[in-house]
Amino acid sequence: MSTESAKQVQLLVLHTGSRRKVVISQLICAWIMLIMLTAITVLYPVFAGMFERQLTGEEWMMTWLGHLGLSLLGLGISVFFQKSYIPLLSRSMPALIIVLLLSFIQGSLSERLPESLEWIGRILPPAFYLVREMMLFDESKMNSFVSVTLWTVIYALALLIIHVWLSGRRDLRG
């Protein structure tokens, strides 16, 4: 999202009338690309014959919803590590990797944290819980999967709304 120069962004903002419209358009384009990547991720193993049996309707729904939820979460997290928030790539990439790693180990991390730091496990992105529900789908209930997926989507949308709000307040040169 930071590929355009500052002058190009200024022109886009003047043309659309709002920096938020530009940011929302960027997010929509990113989401379209994520849908295509999700389709490849979901359909390739099926067409390549990597499963021993046909997937059930519930498994198809779990696969699509889970992967789309994770892609939206990835988008929501990554927008805060772009050039407009952290100018140096050498600082943004390690920070992004740390957040991603913490979000995937938060289950065991939450168990090991002292009570005074348990809040850290609650604010981390819920990727761990969604991946766990997807991996244990045969053993878990559909209600459990849907509630974790909804939580993931709400979390991601909250991040994206915060990003859009902050982007509208940012100086055009930033």
Tell me the per-residue pLDDT of 96-145, one tens digit each, with 9 for 90 and over: 999 999 888 888 887 888 888 878 878 899 999 999 999 988 777 788 89
Classify 140 as helix, strand or coil: coil
Neighbouring residues of 156: CB distance < 8 A, sequence distance ≥ 6: 69, 72, 73, 75, 76, 77, 125
Asked whether residue 31 is domain-assigned, the answer is yes
Would you say 149 and 63 are in contact if contact means Cβ atoms under 8 Å apart?
A: no
Instruction: State residue 108's pLDDT score.
Output: 83
How do residues 19-74 score in pLDDT, each as one tens digit? 889 899 999 999 999 999 999 999 999 899 888 888 888 889 999 999 999 999 99
pTM of the full structure = 0.87
Q: Which domain holds residue 12?
A: 6-169
Number of domains forming the structure of the chain:
1
Asked whether residue 32 is domain-assigned, the answer is yes
Asked whether residue 25 is domain-assigned, the answer is yes
Asked whether residue 163 is domain-assigned, the answer is yes
Would you say 152 and 126 are in contact if contact means Cβ atoms under 8 Å apart?
A: yes
Asked whether residue 174 is domain-assigned, the answer is no
Neighbouring residues of 158: CB distance < 8 A, sequence distance ≥ 6: 76
Asked whether residue 1 is domain-assigned, the answer is no
Asked whether residue 132 is domain-assigned, the answer is yes
Asked whether residue 42 is domain-assigned, the answer is yes
